[in-house]
Structure 1
């Protein structure tokens, strides 16, 4: 009977020991599961903090991002979308970490260049306005001057030739680019350009034109170098009379070998060579010479 009790106690002890071991195994399993869940929780916390930091760097609020997500969005959908984005990032290749700084530098340079461009556009507009004003003033003054010289030529030409007429003609419509042609008709000839005239007629026409310009804007003196060389005696006389008429307001200095021209001068300066290689200047006052000759 005692042995039976001992056996029963041993059996009960073994049974309790088995139950104890099972409980310990369950406790260990629960501990491992708890540890695993704790690690996952800590990992999730780290990820959460990382995501929050990224949102702050990107200047986004968590509530704002969550409000824009669909209500029925599942974790599986998020993982799929994340995988797609990861693949797209990989296809983009290596990330240039200096791109942000380079972009900032280029943006700053663009702002500077845009400002420079605006300044240049304003300056160009100012210059174009100034050019338009200058062109307008130039056209006005050119037309006024052209008309005055043309009127002077039409007045002097008959005096120089003893008749006929001449005028200036513009060869273009734009006053800034036009050329000017001289149309002349000496007495007894057809109207033509100056190129069809004889040498003497060209010289006389040029004299009329030059004196027309000279009358418009006279200077204290005028120098003429053998202008009368291609002229005959009749035209030399007309040329001399014109010079004498204008000498009332302008002092003329002219070089000539023509005796008709010399006769209307007040002073003569001659250059002679009595000895080889030695020039001598002879001055003659016409009035004094005439008085001496009359004595």
Structure 2
């Protein structure tokens, strides 16, 4: 009850709620004003901080530029000092060189005198050199004669040794023949011939005549070929015939080689002429098929046209020159067609079969391919047979040949002339 009374007294002492609300609203308005002022002050503080940061950066940049300018000033000062020192050195050198002509003149006169003395010494040395060369030549001549004499002596010694060796080998051969023929030792030959030791030997020519007579007698005892002369004549006839045939063969080989050389020469000339013509046609057809670019044929691997290989260099529009193997499939097909048609323009053939050559081509290149075919048919007498599945190519042909199967298992060949079909269509439309 006391607390209740105290609370009631306190409530009675309170002011009315309207006054409280008015004061609360005033306090809130005052707080909102302070908040806006605080936000403004905070924004100004942030702006001042950014300006201070920018100013600090600018001060740092100014300090860096100041340092750089001071360094440049020091460098320029050092450079100026160097130039001043160089100017001083050049001035000193100039003052030293003012008397240089006179010094050079004195040196020149001294050098001329030295040259004259040296020339005199050179002449004396040349005379001494000539005398020494003469003495050396005489010495060389004597040495050469001595070497020749020594060489002659060595050759004579070698010949004597060779003769002695030959005599020794001949003696050994004679001893071996004595043992083989007479079956006695060489020391017993004198006893076999009934020649006493110390007796005079019979004349050598008599012994040789007797020996030759005995040999002839022995040979007469051998077989005799009665057809030897006839066989000799037959062999000589065969030899003469073979010699004549050999001469004929040599002459024929010579004429054949001359003919081959003549044919090779004419073939090289014709090949080079045809190559130039084909190359010109190939360049023109390549440009027509690709709508620009350039291409060329080159002979490689040998200077002889008959042994050289062929290289195709093609440059389609917008690409670098490269060999045929580096091109795409369609580019290779167009380049190959240009080469084939260039050969046909040079040496036309009655008929040409093209099997699926337009397979790797897109529609735009197929149109160029068909245009080139029409140009070839107009400029040559060649009949072109085209095997294709491309509708654009088929639409550009004069006549179509195909196989149809009207009934299962029964194939039938169909031929359609597109020119006649167009005429019939025009008549029906009219």
TM-score (norm 1): 0.67
Structure 2 equivalent of residue 154 of structure 1: 283
Q: CA deviation at 1:79?
A: 4.1
Structure 1 equivalent of residue 306 of structure 2: 176
Which has the greater radius of gyration?
Answer: 2
Give the Cα–Cα distance (whole angstroms) in 1 for the partners of residues 319 and 249 of structure 2. 59
* 3-state secondary structure, aligned to 1:281: strand
Q: CA distance change for structure 1 residues 223 and 83 in 2, over 3 Å: closer, same or farther?
A: same
1:279 aligns with 2:411: yes
Q: CA deviation at 1:270?
A: 2.7
* 3-state secondary structure, aligned to 2:305: coil
Question: Within 5 A, what are the aligned runs for 1:1-295?
Answer: 79-86=206-213, 97-98=224-225, 99-171=228-300, 172-248=302-378, 249-250=380-381, 251-294=383-426, 295=429
Unaligned runs of 5+ in 1: 1-75
Q: CA distance change for structure 1 residues 95 and 215 in 2, over 3 Å: closer, same or farther?
A: farther
Structure with bigger RCO (C-alpha 8 Å, 6+ apart): 1
Give the Cα–Cα distance (whole angstroms) in 2 for the partners of residues 96 and 191 of structure 1. 89
| 1:141-186 CA distance string (max 9 Å, x none) | 1111111111110111010111111111111211221111111111
Q: CA deviation at 1:193?
A: 1.3
TM-score (norm 2): 0.47
Number of residue pairs matched by the alignment? 220
Give the Cα–Cα distance (whole angstroms) in 1 for the partners of residues 205 and 234 of structure 2. 36
* 3-state secondary structure, aligned to 1:229: coil
Q: CA distance change for structure 1 residues 256 and 126 in 2, over 3 Å: closer, same or farther?
A: same
Structure 2 equivalent of residue 60 of structure 1: none
Q: CA deviation at 1:190?
A: 1.7
Give the Cα–Cα distance (whole angstroms) in 2 for the partners of residues 101 and 141 of structure 1. 59
Give the Cα–Cα distance (whole angstroms) in 2 for the partners of residues 180 and 241 of structure 1. 27
* 3-state secondary structure, aligned to 1:247: helix
Unaligned runs of 5+ in 2: 1-202
Q: CA deviation at 1:132?
A: 1.1
Give the Cα–Cα distance (whole angstroms) in 1 for the partners of residues 303 and 219 of structure 2. 64
